[in-house]
Amino acid sequence: MSSKGGTLRAQWLGKLLRDLRESAGVSFQEAADHIVRDTSTISRMETGSLPARMSDVRELLNLYGVDDSNVRAGFEQLTRDIWKKGWWDGYADNVHTRIIDLAWLESRAVRMRDFSPLVIHGLLQTRDYAEAVMRAIDPDATDAQIARWLDFRMKRQEALDGRDYLGVLDESVFHRSIGGPGVMREQFAHLLDLSERPNITIRVLPFSVSLAAGAESTFTLLTMPTPFPVVAQVTTEAGMVYVEIPKAARFEAAYARIESHALDVEDSRMFLKSRMEKLA
């Protein structure tokens, strides 16, 4: 049971429960008494170190005066997600917890927006391109590790089905040869195929745009279903960081700025075709 603790899901639920308790003016002791537990249990639930059980969540929502059926349904779904084994959990021995968390967020998001200034976003990568990126980033990884990471990334791409995806790729991504001309040409063709899907928009931020209109790091904005907030996932040298509203607002502003300077959809497709033809 303890292995379920500490995930982003458990931490997120705990934070939301804490916010509700504080807004309702309920003390630790009152909450503990209501569900017939001790105060340390409430504290551990709110930090995410102890996954909350469905019966406790429902009773706490009653205590905190949450009557909205959509809000309650959202809390119950999040609680189920904590305890339910998802496909991503099968990779827990090979993939970092923060990336497992990302796979869960992608599976639940209703909309995703991302900016990629260095390499093509993982959800858009072909298997060969992804392998070349992984080997360049971690040259000491074994073939077995690479194979597991690739399987995980390809499985993550199922998140593109049935939800809106808007991606902006910096032009430098298309000039950085990864895996050789053949891999790059296949990757560009894959992007063109993806861009024909009605739910996927791919645009290019050209070199002609000043740095001020861009951003320094890769980030993804995930719009979660009601009642949950927009989450910004930021990739840094120290690993992945997750930021919620209101702090995520600065990433929304950055994305809007980037999007306003990007080539439109048709010009982006023309750019992609031009780069692909040069690799023929």
Report pLDDT for 212. Answer: 58
CA nearest to 232, candidates 120, 109, 130: 109
Residues 6+ positions from 75 with CB-CB distance below 8 Å: 13, 16, 57, 61, 66, 227
Task: Tell me the pLDDT of the chain (280 aa) as tens digits.
Answer: 233 446 888 888 999 999 999 999 999 999 999 999 999 999 999 999 999 999 999 999 999 999 999 899 999 999 998 888 889 889 988 888 889 989 999 999 999 999 999 999 999 999 999 999 999 999 999 999 999 999 999 999 999 998 999 999 999 999 999 999 999 999 999 999 999 999 999 999 999 987 656 567 889 999 998 778 899 999 877 678 888 878 899 999 999 999 999 999 999 999 999 999 998 7
DSSP string, the chain: -GGGTTSHHHHHHHHHHHHHHHHHT--HHHHHHHTT--HHHHHHHHHTSSPPPHHHHHHHHHHTT---HHHHHHHHHHHHHHHSPPGGGGGTTTS-HHHHHHHHHHHH-SEEEEEESSS--GGG--HHHHHHHHHHH-TT--HHHHHHHHHHHHHHGGGGTTSEEEEEEEGGGGTS--S-HHHHHHHHHHHHHHHTSTTEEEEEE-TTS-GGGS-SS-EEEEEPSTTSPEEEEEEETTEEEEEETTTTHHHHHHHHHHHHHS--HHHHHHHHHHHHHHT-
Give the count of beta carbons closer than 10 Å to the beta carbon of residue 220. Answer: 26
Cα–Cα dist 59/253, whole Å:
38
Pairing of strands 111-116, 164-170: parallel
How many residues are present in the chain?
Answer: 280
Q: Do 236 and 220 form a contact (C-beta atoms < 8 A)?
A: no
What pTM, to 2 d.p., does this model score? Answer: 0.87
Q: Do 24 and 63 form a contact (C-beta atoms < 8 A)?
A: yes
Report pLDDT for 176. Answer: 92
Phi (first) and psi of residue 235, to 5 degrees:
-95, 125
Specify the residue for token string 């991302």.
Answer: 114
Query: Which tokens is 93 given?
Result: 């021995």
